[in-house]
Amino acid sequence: MPQIAQILETYASQFFWLLIVFGLIYLTIGHGMLPKIEANMDARDRKIADDLAAAERARAEADDLGDSGEAGLASARAAAQAKASDAKTKGAKDAEARLAKADAEVVVKLAAAEAALSAATAKAMASIETVAAEAAADIVVKVSGAKVTPAQAAKAVKAVMTNG
Amino acid sequence: MAGESGKIDPMHQFQIEPLAPLKIAGYDVAFTNSSLFMILVLGALWLFMWGGMKRELVPGRWQMAVEGVTGFVNNMLTSSVGPEGKKYVPLVFSLFMFILMANFMGMMPFGIVPGVHPFTVTSHLTITAVLAVISFGTVLVVGFWKHGLHFFSLFVPHGTPWWLLWLIPLIELFSFLIRPFSLALRLFVAMTAGHVLMKVLAGFVINGLNAEAAWVPLVVSIPSFILMIGITLLELLVCAIQAYVFALLTSLYINDAVNLH
């Protein structure tokens, strides 16, 4: 086994070169390059944490804005609803008033029309009576040849019409 | 690696060959193939880290890989030591990455280039021992620095009955002192055994193909080759696991030193 057979001849060289090489590694890499790499990693971790915090803040802000926007929207909607219902009740009242007015006019017109109608009916009835009396007198003349006075005819017609 | 008689020596891969002689203060510190692979590990690690140094806000693939490893070590220390563990990230990261890269570097198929042999730095006891001493020494220094002599209360766990006070501290002391040896031996043995196994299987494949009897390749080489594919994948896993175990144990030991029990 050369590791043991050669130990006396080679230990000095092995120690010497190992200490040089390991010392170089420890100083230039362990204390030179490694801290820079670690500092870079730490800086990156910090940056990521900062960015995440900023994003969180922005999100909270956006949430706040959204909340206030929603509140504004809700109040605007409530105001609009109130206005709409106001307008509706006002419109309904207006319509009622107009309707009542129209109703009254219609009632007056209706009464006048009814009066006119009944007058016309009465007039027509009266004229029917005279026409019927004349017709009855004529019929009596034609049938019996007897002369009937208009007054007699009218009396007879009236009697029939009220009974009939 | 083939010897003079065509025999394949599975231990030859651990041989340290001097490439350039160098003497400092009477010590032979020659630049060897082991040193070369340590330099390669340093270069590969440096390249890997450099690729992740773009430091972009949105990381690319390479940066993601580097940040994944650093995050992994960071996580390991913060979960086993707590927030104070951050201080030890450079050390544990260096240990983890050096062991990981050295393990992988030994698995690289450099052997396909004639005359080049990959060398596993971490398969040498001298290397793993130094790494274990670095880990253990950190624990000692941190422990005595933070707690002074109170650090010895580590050997008396909470709730020890008074009539066991003569035995438990002794056991705890031994288990504490064994830590550097277990750290060093675990890594060294795992890497050595794995590479020996792979080399033995490769020897079966090659010697089977060279055998005179025609049935030998079919019966020996092909099954060995199939087995070797599996063992190689397993070894790659072991490379990562051993680096992880070393780093995890180091962070647990540092936890002992920082927080006592």
pLDDT means per 10 residues in chain B (261 residues)? 58 85 83 91 92 81 90 92 88 93 90 85 92 93 89 83 85 91 93 91 87 82 91 94 94 89 67
**Cα–Cα distances in Å, from B165 out to B149, B225, B247, B257?**
18, 56, 32, 21
CA of A24: which chain B residue's CA is closest? B42
| pLDDT tens-place string over residues A54-87 | 999 999 999 999 999 999 999 999 999 999 999 9
A33–B53 C-beta distance less than 8 A: yes
Query: Chain B partners of A16 at a C-beta cutoff of 8 Å?
Result: 24, 27, 29
> Which one of A8, A9, A10 would you mutate to disrupt binding with B, by most B Cβ within 10 Å of its Cβ?
A10
CA distance B96 to B47: 16
CA distance B224 to B218: 10
Cβ–Cβ < 8 Å for B246, B183: yes
B30–A13 C-beta distance less than 8 A: yes
B32–A10 C-beta distance less than 8 A: yes
CA distance A75 to A68: 11
Query: Chain B partners of A15 at a C-beta cutoff of 8 Å?
Result: 126, 130
CA distance A87 to B25: 113
pLDDT, position B1: 42
User: Can you tell me the ipTM of this complex?
Assistant: 0.87
A30–B94 C-beta distance less than 8 A: yes
B29–A12 C-beta distance less than 8 A: yes
A13–B16 C-beta distance less than 8 A: yes
Give the residue among B165, B178, B163, B225 at the shortest CA–CA distance from B200.
Answer: B225
B24–A16 C-beta distance less than 8 A: yes
Cβ–Cβ < 8 Å for B77, B248: no
Cβ–Cβ < 8 Å for B94, A26: yes
3-class state of residue B56 by DSSP: coil
> Which one of A33, A46, A47 would you mutate to disrupt binding with B, by most B Cβ within 10 Å of its Cβ?
A33
CA of A3: which chain B residue's CA is closest? B124
Which of A6, A7, A37 lies nearest to residue B53, judging by beta carbons? A37
Residues in Cβ contact with A100 at an 8 Å cutoff, skipping those fewer than 6 apart: none
Flag residues of chain A having pLDDT under 70: 164
Task: Work out the burial of residue B124: count CB atoms within 10 Å of its CB; fewer than 13 is exposed, 13-18 middle, 19 or more buried.
Answer: buried
pLDDT, position B4: 43
Which of B12, B38, B74 lies nearest to residue A17, judging by beta carbons? B38
Query: Chain A partners of B12 at a C-beta cutoff of 8 Å?
Result: 2
State the nearest Cα–Cα gap between B241 and chain A, in angstroms. Answer: 20
Structure tokens, B19: 């490439």
A14–B16 C-beta distance less than 8 A: yes
Number of Cβ atoms within 10 Å of the Cβ of A32: 16
A24–B91 C-beta distance less than 8 A: no
Residues in Cβ contact with B138 at an 8 Å cutoff, skipping those fewer than 6 apart: B88, B91, B250, B254, B257
3-class state of residue B98 by DSSP: helix
Query: Chain B partners of A11 at a C-beta cutoff of 8 Å?
Result: 126
Q: Which helix (H) or strand (E) holds A141?
A: helix A34-144
φ/ψ of residue A18, rounded to 5: -65, -45
Query: Chain B partners of A36 at a C-beta cutoff of 8 Å?
Result: 53, 55
CA distance B207 to B224: 11
A25–B45 C-beta distance less than 8 A: yes
pLDDT, position A82: 95
A36–B34 C-beta distance less than 8 A: no
Q: Which helix (H) or strand (E) holds B19?
A: strand B18-20
pLDDT, position A62: 94
Query: Chain B partners of A41 at a C-beta cutoff of 8 Å?
Result: 67, 70-71
